[in-house]
Amino acid sequence: MSVFINNRTKLVVQGITGRDGSLHTSLMKAYGTSVVAGVTPGKGGKKFNGIPVFDSVADAVAKTKANTSVIYVPPPFAVDAIFEAADAGIKTIICITEGVPANDMMKVYEYIREMDVRLIGPNCPGLISPGQSKVGIIPGQICKKGGVGVVSRSGTLTYEAVWALTNAGIGQSTCVGIGGDQVIGTNFIDCLEAFENDPATKAVVMIGEIGGDDEQKAALFVKKKMTKPVVGFISGRTAPPGKRMGHAGAIISGSAGTAEEKVAAFNKAGIPVADSPTEIPGLIVAALKKAKAKAATKVAKKVTKKVAKKKVAKKAVTKNKVAKKKAVKKATRKTATKKVVKKVAKKIVKKKTKKSKKR
């Protein structure tokens, strides 16, 4: 199992003939992703790397039954590309494009929610379910199939965390780069909820950064809703206030959105926080060990409770048997007494009858 994409993913690439689209289409196909179509207006009927190209997403979906889209188009056309994919019936859209205006994304966000569409991004590296499917720009060679889910606002830190896990022999179920813009389609909580419901995911790595309060909200969700262990990392600890660091959303405003504030929220929720991505594997191993011990204790308590219930039930049965025996004895004594009384009464009647005859 995995989240959002798997071996049933049928991908259409919007912007397949562009520089980035053509490069990453080849890499996705080489990884094993089922890339069934590409879209570049005006180039319908052609082929790229054996993949049919269509003029519109609607045409591509009608001919190939594509269910997932990845967008590699310039910022001025990215919003229209998202709308086009959603209108064509695509239910999972990954927008790699950077520089999409936040105002435009507000309209997109409301629209995709109404259409029940999963949008990941914009300004994200995409996602990968190792051994099944890769959609976006995450390098497939650094990943390993396993049971740890990874969700991150930062693309580069996703790669670092994944590489550290793989080097430690720890595989991943799905790695998701949600993007670092102020308005994105899928947030930490969406991913955490998906990982919580995924049987293949045994633990989660959550990588946040300065700016906003998504990490604080996610920490609260972990505390209230998650049963699987979560470990974290927060980047931007040395960033000066008021200065944007790389992502549109990575900016500290006043006292809000600082790394310290986010680390404190993680700690409060019981999420161990790494000081470096290289510490993440160690924290995962410790968290899984702790979860295993907790589960064993829970099972032991359950067994003890079951045994205690059986003992109580056995005691109750024994008590009932004793009570039944006593009742039988009492009833027997009562019956015997009645017989004696009856016998005595008969004798008295007999004597009286004899006396009356003599008279």
Residues 6+ apart with CB under 8 A from 178: 120, 121, 124, 151, 152, 153, 184, 186, 187, 188, 191
Tokens representing 222 are: 């972990």
Determine the 3-state secondary structure of 182 from DSSP.
coil
Q: Which of 139, 353, 147, 124 is nearest to 247 (CA)?
A: 124
Q: Which amino acid is at 122?
A: P
For residue 319, report the phi and psi dihedrals to the nearest 5 degrees.
-60, -40
Q: Which residues pair with 39 in a beta bridge?
A: 14, 54
Long-range contacts of 41-50 (CB under 8 A, 24+ apart): 43/17, 46/17, 48/16, 48/17, 48/22, 49/22, 49/25
89 touches 61 (CB < 8 A): yes
Q: Is the peptide bond before 122 cis (omega within 30 degrees of 0)?
A: yes
What is the distance between the alpha carbons of residues 54 and 42, in angstroms, rounded to a whole number?
Answer: 8
118 touches 127 (CB < 8 A): no
CA 319 to chain centre: 50
Active-site residues: which are they? 247
Q: At what angle do helices 102-114 and 75-87 cross, to 10 degrees?
A: 10
- The label of the residue with tokens 């990982």 reads 195
For residue 210, report the phi and psi dihedrals to the nearest 5 degrees.
-65, 155
